[in-house]
């Protein structure tokens, strides 16, 4: 099935984890790089709905990011689990993941261009309300969505889950247009306290609308069941922090999209009165 400039979209053969969810794999390009993301939406969706980008961890687009996209589809959104590395490019171990993610952490312009390409791809999808877009990310993906916000991209909000907060290209006052929320493990030894403090200082200096929520006892990857249950290893699942942060995300997205819709409806009403 040809999708214009977007490339080829192939309906996923595997049944999604959530009932009434349609999924498809969408091929798109960033320059010469061929990418393949995963789109999920409710099969009964008829009117344009808000879109949410989902950015994967450091090993690349995997079943975890796809499950999160399906969860968002279950909330009525059109979710696009993006591919930052390239079609079929996935890390087989932590060493390879460190190399792949390092290419983008060390080149923030490349990281920004790649996520902006995914944003443009989501905006072009049928049944996506292009004026109501947000982005979430996990670990490497959390870093990526914060770079999206720092770039001044026209998105309503971004949410980072146990993502890196370092900013080689710090934002300046007025550049962050999106609302920002960061879910952070208070005992995450991969993110030094100095990095957290520098992020807070950066957001304050930029006059950004942001929140930082820290979960006591949570370490890195606290939302990922596959991370295991041993916090002493540095990465471990924390069920209470996972559930609490997802609830916060639902409220964050709901408020973002309701506020945007109300403002747009109010503007249309005023225009109608003026025209009348």
Each residue's pLDDT tens digit, 185-222 = 999 999 999 999 999 999 999 999 999 999 999 999 99
Burial 2-11 (b: 16+ CB within 10 A, else e): ebeebbebee
Q: In what order do the strands lie in the sheet with 210-215?
A: 9-11, 21-30, 33-42, 78-81, 49-55, 128-138, 157-161, 179-185, 210-215
**Residue 80 Cα distances to 22, 176, 266, angstroms:** 12, 22, 29
Q: How confident is the model at residue 6 (pLDDT cuts 50, 70, 90)?
A: very low
Q: Distance between alpha carbon 110 and the CA centroid of its chain, in Å?
A: 17
Q: Please report the pLDDT score of residue 12 as a whole number.
A: 36
Residue whose token pair is 């049928």: 126
Confidence of residue 263 (pLDDT cuts 50, 70, 90): low
Residue 257 to residue 50: CA distance in whole angstroms: 7
Q: What is the pLDDT of residue 7?
A: 37
Element (H, E) at 7: none
pLDDT at 57 over 90: yes
Residue with tokens 């999920």: 40
SS3 75: coil
Q: Which domains does the chain have, with CATH numbers?
A: 48-81+89-275 (3.40.50.1820)
pTM, 2 dp = 0.89
In this structure, the number of other CB atoms found within 10 A of the CB of residue 201 comes to 11
Looking at residues 101-130, what average pLDDT do you find? 97
pLDDT at 1 over 70: no
Cα 116 from Cα 110, distance rounded (Å): 10
Among residues 151, 227, 139, the alpha carbon closest in space to that of 182 is found at 139
**Rounded mean pLDDT of 25-52?**
96
pLDDT at 267: 56
Position 10 confidence tier, pLDDT thresholds 50, 70, 90: very low
- Mean residue pLDDT of the chain comes to 90
Residue 155 has pLDDT above 70, yes or no: yes
Do 162 and 143 meet the contact criterion of CB atoms below 8 Å apart? Answer: no
H helices present in 62-161, as ranges: 63-74, 94-105, 108-123, 140-150
Residues 6+ apart with CB under 8 A from 178: 134, 148, 149, 153, 155, 156, 157, 158
Directed axis angle between helix 94-105 and helix 108-123, to 10°? Answer: 90
Q: Give me 123's structure tokens.
A: 């905006």
> What's the helix, strand, coil split of the chain in %, to 5?
40, 25, 35
Q: Do residues 51 and 156 lie in contact, with contact meaning Cβ atoms separated by under 8 Å?
A: no
């Amino acid at each position: 099935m040809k999708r214009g400039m977007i490339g080829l979209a192939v309906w996923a053969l595997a049944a999604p984890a959530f009932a009434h969810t349609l999924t498809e794999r969408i091929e798109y390009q960033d320059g010469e790089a061929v990418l393949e993301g995963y789109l999920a939406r409710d099969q009964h969706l008829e009117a344009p709905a808000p879109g949410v980008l989902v950015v994967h961890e450091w090993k690349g687009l995997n079943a975890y990011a796809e499950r999160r996209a399906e969860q968002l589809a279950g909330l009525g959104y059109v979710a696009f689990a993006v591919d930052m590395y390239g079609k079929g490019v996935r890390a087989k171990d932590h060493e390879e993941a460190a190399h792949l993610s390092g290419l983008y952490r060390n080149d923030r312009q490349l990281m920004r261009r790649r996520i902006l390409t995914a944003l443009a791809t989501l905006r072009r999808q049928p049944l996506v309300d292009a004026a109501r877009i947000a982005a979430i990310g996990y670990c490497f993906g959390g870093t990526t969505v914060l770079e999206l916000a720092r770039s001044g991209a026209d998105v309503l909000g971004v949410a980072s889950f146990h993502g890196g907060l370092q900013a080689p290209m710090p934002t300046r006052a007025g550049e962050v247009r999106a609302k920002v929320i960061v879910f952070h493990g208070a005992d995450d030894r991969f993110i030094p306290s100095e990095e957290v403090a520098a992020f807070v200082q950066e957001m304050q200096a930029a006059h950004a609308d942001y929140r930082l929520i820290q979960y006591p006892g949570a370490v890195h990857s606290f939302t990922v069941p596959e991370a295991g249950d041993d916090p002493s290893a540095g990465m471990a699942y924390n069920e209470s922090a996972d559930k609490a942060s997802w609830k916060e995300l639902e409220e964050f997205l709901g408020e973002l999209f309701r506020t945007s819709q109300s403002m747009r409806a109010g503007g249309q009403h005023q225009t109608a009165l003026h025209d009348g």
